[in-house]
Structure formats: structure tokens, C-alpha cells
Amino acid sequence: MNLDLRIPMGLMFTLVGLILTVFGAATMGNPMYAKSLDINANLDWGIVLLLFGGTMFLLGRAGQKKAEREPQKPMPEGTVRRGH
Amino acid sequence: MLLYFVFVLGIGFALKRYMKTSKDFFQAGRALPAWICGLAFISANLGAQEVIGMGASGAKYGIATSHFYWIGAIPAMIFVGIFMMPFYYGSKARSVPEFLRMRFDEKTRALNACSFAVMTVFSSGISMYAMARLIQTLHVFDYIFISAGMPLGWIFHFSILLSAIIVLGYIFLGGLTSAIYNEVLQFFLIIAGFLPLVIIGLKNVGGISGLRASLPQAYMHSWQGMTHANTNPLGVEVFGLAMGLGFVLSFGYWCTDFLVIQTAMATDSEENARRVPLIAAIPKMFFPFLVILPGLLAIGAATPHVVTTTHTDASGAIIRETTVPTEVEAKGQGLVPAKTNPLTGKIVLDASGKPQLDYDLAIPSMLLHFFPTGILGLGLTALLASFMSGMAGNVTAFNTVWTYDLYQSYIKKGASDAHYLAMGRWATVGGILLSMMTAYVASGFNNIMDTLQLVFSFVNAPLFATFLLGMFWKRTTGNGAFIGLISGTVAAIAHHGLTLPLEAHPGIHGGWIAVLHHYPSDMAQNFWTAIWAFCINFGVTIVISLFGKPKPESELVGLVYSLTPKPDLGHVEWWKRPEALAVVLIVMVVGLNVIFR
């Protein structure tokens, strides 16, 4: 059974998003944000990544469950479908 | 910031271990969904050349750099999907030299294996150079070097060595197993790291209209002034652009680079394999906004100058702070600093005495300028991920070509598997050592894209002519292909030795035989080198083939277009066929060209 790529990917981005969000919230109003034109880039982008990661994870899990319910017909190793 | 950085890398490694348990992509047979392969397809060439090189070219040549995508990569990817993929999927060749052996003969294969090895070493050396420059720009080791009393110039050597060690570790830890999954993760990582940079950078200059106002007009138009070489930043006219970049270099790259082609082979059917490059073309089309735009934004931003800020702190005291930019920053343009010799730290001057700009640093300095601690780690991780895959992929390809196509076939036949495995390991080490040498060669250029296209014009451009003739003309003979390839490569070298870009010193930029002709830019010179190499190879191969005896048709089934069974798509609705997707892509790409003319 192949692992659905969206699950680890979703996990990774959720984690990165979480770190950025927490870090951004903790450093709100910090003068270092003058660099990014007074936008709290950590908080804002953290939330975006969190949403993206979460969506990917949920989609991946849904896909995985669906694949488990309908097991794929095994194809012989190295089968090449070709027209004539 | 460093902590965060280590942490993100840690996640990457932990994930990779997790990934290894899932099936390796070759073992998994041909079973991956087309969208995953499609993303891996573009991600396989998303190395340093893409993120640093395209940003650098954006800063150097303006929006005309998008031609690399809109008349270069996209049409080539459509061509690969429609015409080339059936050969590759059907012939089951695993590398370019292998395909050449099946179509022509052993000597053509050996010749190509050698030039392919040179190309991979240069590609990984270029990534290595980019990584070393990044380490140097971050100034993380300055303190250690100063306190140890060593000259700062050594940081460059040290950074090269460090990148070499990191790559070696990465490959030996099995960094390329489950390559496809890594590629896709990296694809999203780069988007996550670069998209906020584009947004903040755009806001800084006041949106697209602000960018337009801060740059010379020619930088914002991709087609204006293309009728003559001297009236556009790229320094080429329409013919050189369409023939050199659009046809020879792009088609040559996308049709013959197996690092990329391989990913499409992991799908479950020929139909899907043909669809992979076409799916990949959709995000590829919008990549200029992600990688070229930051370069433009860097050159369009205000050049750092002495700034005094006054603010009142909590106790009521007035504090005045003055920031003085370094000489390198002040002599640059926008956020692109002047180029310094990485060893001596002196600013490099061009032939007319003006300081050269170090375009390769456009993207890193954008990151450092606009990103606060935190998201900066994400941006740098994205950059490093692209360097790593650029180096590791090429060194691994070098290893394969050396061990199987050269060593096993010509030097020591019939040894044990363990022997070849050990040889493969030594080849990896050797490949990295050679890459370190080429990294020093790359330091002679101020835009890694120029360096890379130079290598491509030597290797891929003549090879593409051989491929094209081999696939579409069944009379092409092995001798024709072999002599054609040699003359094409020699033509490329001769052309490089006889011409020179304006304002460059003769030497590594060309003109080392005699200067017969001046080109307005390095890139124009590369395009014409490619055109010459292609045409000479094409002509010589035809002439020699006409004198020889072609292979019998029975041996060419599946290798020549007219003798390969056409894919039967009768059962697929017309709008699901690759051809329909290709038409949609062409319409979109023409649209983009019209918008940014």
C-alpha cells in the first residue's frame, strides 16, 4: 500500500505553520517587523501554511480511506499498456 | 533563527526516514498518479539554477527572462508530452546513453556518456557555488574566522568544502530514495518560502505599477525591442531567441535530460506518461512570477544609502540611529550588491571599469532584507533544499553514468555487483571533487544562468540534433551520429573561443582563440553557440549518414517515429486526450506573451 503523499506533506506544513503562528503571535509589535514593512509576516504566513497543511492532511486521509475501502486490482509487475 | 533552521531540517530528515518505508519509486512499478509525477517533473529541475539563476537573470535581463518559460520550457514540454514520451516509455531506456546505444551504436553512447558526465559535474558545481555564496552572504562563519586569525577570503573555500561534505552525507544517507516524494515536498516548500517574498517585495515598490515606474521601460516588456539585438537587455533579436533558446536549448534540455524524463516514467500508463509534462506545464507557466519577479523587485528597490532614523524610547530619550551600508551594497543597484572576488573581497570591475553587479545574490539579499526572524528560516530552508537536490541529483546521475555506461561497459567488464557498488561510491566522491573544481569556474560569472546555458550549449544543443535525426529519420547511421556529435561539440567550443560578450575580458567568457565578433550579452553568445552547435551537428550527421548503410528497420521498431506503434486513444473522450490539453496550454502561453509583450 502506497502512502498518500498528502498526509506527510500536510503534517509538515501544519507543523511549520504552527511554529510560525506561535512565534508570530509571541513577537507581535516587535521592531524587527519594520523589515517586512510592519506586516507580521510570521503570523500571517503561519496561518496560511496552517490552513494549507490542514487541508492537505484531511484530503490525504480521505483519499487513503477511500483507497482502503476499494482495494485496487493488482497489476502484474512491469505491465505496459500500449495501443496498437 | 539558527535553531529554527536546524529544526526544520530535522523535520525534513525525520520525514525522509518515514518515506523510506514507503515503496521506492522504481520498485513501485509504474503506479504513481499523474499529478504527483507532474509536480516532480518540474521539481526535478527546480535546483539552484531555477531559484537563484532565474532571479539573477530577472535582475540582469528584466522580464525578458520569462522567455525561458513562455517560449522555451512550455513549448518544449508540450513537444515532449506529445511526440517524445511514447519512445521513452516504449523503449524502456533508463538513460540517454542507453537510448543512443539502442538507436545507434556503442561509440556514440560512450561519447555521450562522457559529455553527459561533464554536464552533471558542472551543474552540481554551479549549485555548490550558489550554496557557498549563500553561506558567505549569511556571515555565519565570519566571527569564527576572525577570532582564529584566518583571512576572511578563506570562508569561500570553507563554504565550498562544507557544501561538498553536506552533499556527500546526504547522498550516502540515501537522500535520493523515494526521490519523487522528496521532489514534490520540495516544490511546495519553495512556493511556501518564496510567495511571501514576492508579496512583501511588491508591496515595497508599490505594486506592479510602482515596479514599472522604478525600472527602465525595457525591463518590463518581454518582446519590445526584440527586432534588434541592441535594443533589449537580453541582447538578442527574434531569430536568435526563437531558434537558440526557444528551439535548440529548451527542446534540447527537456527532451534529453533524463533526470527530468524519468519522473514521467513512474506513471501507470503511456497515456499518463504523456500527460505528465503537460500537467507540469501549467504550474511552470506561472513560475516566472515566483522566481523572476523577486529579481526584478531586487533591482527596482531603492539602493541602500546612509539612513538616520530618530525615535523616542519609553523613557522619553531621543535616540538617533544611523545605518551605513557597506561599500559593496552602495556600489550595487537596488538590492543587488556589487560583485566581489570571493577570495580577495575586492570589487570586480568589468572591461569598461564599472563595478560588476552580483546578480546571483539578488534573491538571497531580498530574503535577508524583507524577512524577519522566523519566516527567514523558512525562506533559507527553501533555498537550501533546492541547492541540495540540484547537487545530489546531478552527482547521482554522474555516478550512474560513470559506473554503468563507462566503467562497466569499457573499463572492467563482468566484475561482481559488490565491485560496481564500491565503484559507484568512489564515483560519488570523485563527482563531488570535480564539482568543487567547477564551482571555482562558476565564480568567474556573475549570473549562474549564463554559466549553465553555456554548458548546455556545449552538451545538449548538439545532442538534440542527434536525437531529432535519430528519432525522425530512419536512415541516420551510427557513424553519422558519432561524427556529427563530435563536430557539433567542436563547433560550440570554437564559437565560444572566437566571440566575446561586450565589456568582458577574454578568457572564460570566450574569445580565447581570437575575438572575431562581439555579442551584447553572455546570454546572446550562449544562444548563438547553441545554434551553431546544433546546425553543424545536423548537417554533418545527414551528410555522413547518406554515405553509410542504415540499420535494418527491424532493429529500429520503437526507436524511430515512423516505425513506432501510435498510441491508440480511441477509448478516451477528445477533451481528455493529451493533444487537447496541449492546445489549451498553447492558448494560455500565447496569452501570457501578449499580456507581457
Q: Is A41 within 8 Å of B185 when comparing Cβ atoms? A: no
Contacts of B559 (CB under 8 A, 6+ apart): B87, B91, B99, B102, B103, B470, B471
Residues from chain B contacting residue A5 (CB–CB below 8 Å): 36, 181, 184-185
**B92: closest chain A residue by CA:** A80
B22 touches chain A (CB under 8 A): yes
pLDDT by 10s per residue, chain B, length 597: 455 455 555 555 655 555 444 334 333 444 667 777 788 788 777 776 778 888 888 887 877 778 888 878 888 888 888 888 877 777 767 677 888 888 888 888 888 888 888 888 888 888 888 888 887 777 767 677 777 766 666 778 888 888 888 778 777 765 444 566 667 777 888 888 888 888 888 887 777 777 777 766 666 666 666 666 555 666 667 777 777 777 778 888 887 777 777 777 777 777 788 888 888 888 888 888 888 888 888 877 766 655 555 666 666 666 666 655 665 565 566 667 776 665 565 666 665 556 677 777 888 888 888 888 778 888 888 888 778 777 877 887 888 788 878 888 788 777 777 788 788 788 888 888 898 888 888 877 777 778 888 888 888 888 888 888 888 888 888 888 899 989 999 999 888 888 888 767 776 777 777 777 788 888 888 888 888 899 999 999 999 888 888 888 777 777 777 776 666 666 666 666 777 788 888 888 777 777 776
CA dist B84 and B256 (Å) reads 10
ipTM exceeding 0.85, yes/no: no
Where exactly are the structural domains of chain A? 6-69
Residues from chain B contacting residue A49 (CB–CB below 8 Å): 192
Name the residue type at position B557. V
Q: Is B11 within 8 Å of A12 when comparing Cβ atoms? A: yes
Longest dimension (CA), chain A: 68
Q: Are B401 and B120 in contact (CB under 8 A)?
A: yes
**B375: closest chain A residue by CA:** A42
Residues from chain B contacting residue A60 (CB–CB below 8 Å): none
What global pTM score does this model have? 0.78
CA dist B289 and B401 (Å) reads 35
B157 touches chain A (CB under 8 A): no
Residues in chain A whose beta carbon is closer than 8 A to a beta carbon of chain B? 2-3, 5, 8-9, 12-13, 15-16, 19-20, 23-24, 27, 30, 32-33, 35-37, 39, 41-42, 44-45, 49, 52, 75, 77-84
Q: For the residues of B215-226, what is the DSSP string, one character each?
A: S-GGGG-SSTTT
For an interface test with A, which of B5, B19, B87, B378 has the most A Cβ atoms less than 10 Å from its Cβ?
Answer: B378
Residue B372, min C-alpha distance to chain A (Å): 6
Q: Are B383 and B391 in contact (CB under 8 A)?
A: no
Q: Are A18 and A46 in contact (CB under 8 A)?
A: yes
Query: Which among A2, A35, A41 has CB closest to B22?
Result: A2
SS3 call for B132? helix
- E strands within B201-329? 307-312, 318-323
Q: Is B372 within 8 Å of A23 when comparing Cβ atoms? A: no
**A74: closest chain B residue by CA:** B31
The grid coordinates listed for B133 are 555564496
Pick from B251, B293, B253: nearest CA to B66: B293
Pick from B45, B1, B121, B73: nearest CA to B451: B121
Q: Is A9 within 8 Å of B89 when comparing Cβ atoms? A: no
Q: Is A49 within 8 Å of B4 when comparing Cβ atoms? A: no
- In CATH terms, the superfamily for domain B2-302+334-445 is Sodium/glucose cotransporter (1.20.1730.10)
